Amino acid sequence: MTRIDAKFAELKAANRKAFVAYVMAGDPDYETSLEVVKGLPGAGVDIIELGIPFTDPMADGLTIQLAGQRALEAGQTLEKTLAMARAFRETDDTTPIVMMGYYNPIYNRGVDRFLADAQEAGIDGLIVVDLPPEEDDELCIPAQKAGLNFIRLATPTTDDARLPKVLQNTSGFVYYVSITGITGAAEASAADVAPEVARIKAQTDLPVIVGFGIKTPEAAEAIAGVADGAVVGSAIVKLIEEGRPVPDILAHVRGLAEGAHRAQAVTP
């Protein structure tokens, strides 16, 4: 059982929805980013998504594109992202960390080396947005053999014919992308999301977490009310872009987390 599996078991026992926060590793610099990441669990975050900065983030909107650029310009690398996870694990051995990004940096490092390093650093799962199920032998299967969850994205265009393929080797949770488009591009609608989540849950026992387009505590509550939890990324990254003090960023995260957690008694 991974930390992700344990976290969802804990949340289920408490009839509580998950709040997942995304931040770009190394944005705006290593020290500030680590301070934010270390503060996330205390702000109510159940699972941390740690972005791997990459030069060509095709699934991301301008906010996260710019975050990746800032991180790269500040010297962030995959090695430093792994080091950040190790530093986090020095004081927190329970909060799950999911590395989210693109395959190129992992491929360049070498899959076997990357998986060994990720496991040693305390990484629990991977979201690699540009590896479809047809490429599962490339990273997904080796990752799961190494004890890491491989989390797949489902989208509004994932039809009933495609969905079983998407779910085939997914573990940890399913990440449902609430909008058609890139991160931060539009606002998620619980009315639109609810039937899609139900359709996915009819084919898997995994938790379904919804991300993209969630910007406020109210939206986090509404989306978590029709799913197993909500992910917020761009709205948090935007505060980092604005140069807000870390305590202010964490206070905003706390409000988002409280929104998602208010939905704990709602049955999807």
User: E strands within 105-226?
Assistant: 125-128, 149-150, 152-154, 174-177, 208-211
What is d(CA 190, CA 222) in angstroms, rounded to the nearest whole number? Answer: 6
Residue 49 annotated in active site: yes
Sign of the C-alpha dihedral, residues 67, 68, 72, 76? positive
User: Catalytic one among 5, 46, 60, 117?
Assistant: 60
Buried b (16+ CB within 10 A) or exposed e, 123-158: bbbbbbbebeeeebebbbebbbebebbbbbbbbeeb
Query: In this structure, are residues 19 and 230 in contact, taking their beta carbons and an 8 Å threshold?
Result: yes
Confirm whether 258 is a catalytic residue. no
List 5, 27, 46, 49, catalytic entry: 49
Tell me which residues are annotated as active site.
49, 60
